[in-house]
Amino acid sequence: MPNLKDPSLLRQHAYIDGAWCDADDGATVAVTNPATGETLGLVPHTGALETRRAIEAANAAWPAWRKKSAKERAAILRRWHDLMLENADDLALLMTLEQGKPLAESKGEVAYAASFFEWFGEEAKRISGETLASPWGDRRIVVTKEPVGVCAAITPWNFPSAMITRKVAPALAAGCPIVLKPSELTPFSALALAVLAERAGVPKGVFSVVPGDAKAIGSEMTGNPIVRKLSFTGSTAVGRLLMEQCAPTIKKVSLELGGNASFIVFDDADIDAAVEGAIASKYRNAGQTCVCANRIYVQEGVYDEFARKLVAAVGKLKVGNGADEGVNQGPLIEEKAVRKVEQHIEDAIGKGARLLAGGKRHELGHSFFQPTVLTEVTSDMLVATEETFGPLAPLFRFKTEEEVVNLANATEFGLASYFYARDIGRVWRVAEAIETGMVGVNTGLISTEVAPFGGVKQSGLGREGSTYGMDDYLVVKYICMGGI
């Protein structure tokens, strides 16, 4: 059992309609620490029936929640934010134990996750409509914004807290209740958030957490006509399936799906800054984020220098149990993830890539993997088209701007991209030509609650964070006022 300052943050129950409960049939699933293989605890394996109860409770709680003033909702979200920060050490430890990321990254994520409650709480007060110029003398046109209704969210394991608050905060701020299914691999961070929701005064039914059977919960969330909106973060394959399942009841959907981020280093770039950005973008969370650089394109004039400096920086990364001091890279989430990295390396080397760093499982065992750098990578290798989701930096060589823009866009994904350049004309041209929802120019880190996060192409629909993120939880109503 983890050594928490407040042990009550570790809950081994589902949270439905303001009550902590077991699965109806008593089934449970174990949650494992990827760094040690130890079982951290058990959570209920809930399914369709428990999810239906949570949805019905949300529907019952909705009228009172939407009637609260924005200021009242904001005050509750503010308290939830403050409680997260007060309990940041415990939340970060729980996250590291179930997910594996270094404690410093977990602390960063807790602060980032909490920021959505603060930001959307403040923004709740600024949800406003419009009066439009009327073509009629005796009628006026008023546009209001209303909460979309009962929402459902399905979230992944790579950001066990932030992917939840990014959905829950705008939902609650807009006046919607929400039912959450966290990843089966990281439910404790979600349940700890529910403990704090209760303490912050979120009314029962407004936020429920159903851990358990992904398919059964997903089918109920998508099939139940009470649910008006589904927000999902995860793989493109599952997103596609959920969108299909939402079609019969025409739900509003927001999807944050896979990426295949390009990271381009032009000849005129500040190479040291580019190396720093590549390390941050590639090796953060052991490469397990959907905005991690997946394909690193380096212009031929600076290729060797960049490769040399990247290898030197990678050599300084400390791999270990994320709970230990000074660790930069924890284990991958599970064995399957390690096999994918190995497959990408083997495929690339088989087709002529060169291994400059890492390449193997780490001596620590379990799912630890060495930070890896490959050079002479080409478009026919798996790493060019598939998201590795691991600590592997493949370096492609290119000659011209036009060539690299075409290469960067040669993917069905379009989430994030990065490039390093100094020429102002090139900066604009490339930023405009890249087909992604987000572009980092001379930076490898772009996420913040104040900016719209989301993708184009098969990377998803909708935006999270910022006022655009609030829009996803609102519907527009046009009122035609006659009889004037």
Q: Which of 290, 292, 376, 464 is catalytic?
A: 290
Q: Smallest distance from the beta carbon of 154 to ligand ADP, in angstroms?
A: 5
Q: Smallest distance from the beta carbon of 401 to ligand ADP, in angstroms?
A: 33
Nearest CB to ligand ADP, comparing residues 218 and 287: 218
Nearest CB to ligand ADP, comparing residues 184 and 305: 184
Instruction: Note the residues at the interface with ligand ADP (CB under 6 A).
Output: 154-156, 181, 183-184, 214-215, 218, 234-235, 238, 241
Token match 């046009």: residue?
A: 478
Q: Smallest distance from the beta carbon of 369 to ligand ADP, in angstroms?
A: 17
Nearest CB to ligand ADP, comparing residues 289 and 466: 289
Does residue 369 contact residue 281 with C-beta atoms inside 8 Å? no
The residues facing 416 across adjacent strands are: 438
Nearest CB to ligand ADP, comparing residues 245 and 442: 245
Active-site annotation holds for 346: no
For residue 233, report the phi and psi dihedrals to the nearest 5 degrees. Answer: -125, 125
Q: Which of 105, 123, 198, 256 is catalytic?
A: 256
Active-site annotation holds for 256: yes
Nearest CB to ligand ADP, comparing residues 182 and 444: 182
Q: Smallest distance from the beta carbon of 376 to ligand ADP, in angstroms?
A: 29
482 burial via Cβ count (<10 Å: 0-12, 13-18, 19+): exposed
Point out the residue whose Cβ comes nearest to ligand ADP. Answer: 218
Q: What is the token pair recorded at 338? A: 């390690």
Q: Smallest distance from the beta carbon of 240 to ligand ADP, in angstroms?
A: 10
Burial 324-362 (b: 16+ CB within 10 A, else e): eeebbbbbbbeeebbebbbebbeebbeeebeebbbbebb
Does residue 69 contact residue 38 with C-beta atoms inside 8 Å? no
Cβ-proximal residues to 33 (8 Å cutoff; 6+ apart), any chain: 39, 40, 97, 98, 100
Q: Smallest distance from the beta carbon of 76 to ligand ADP, in angstroms?
A: 26
Nearest CB to ligand ADP, comparing residues 98 and 118: 98
Which residues are part of the catalytic machinery? 256, 290
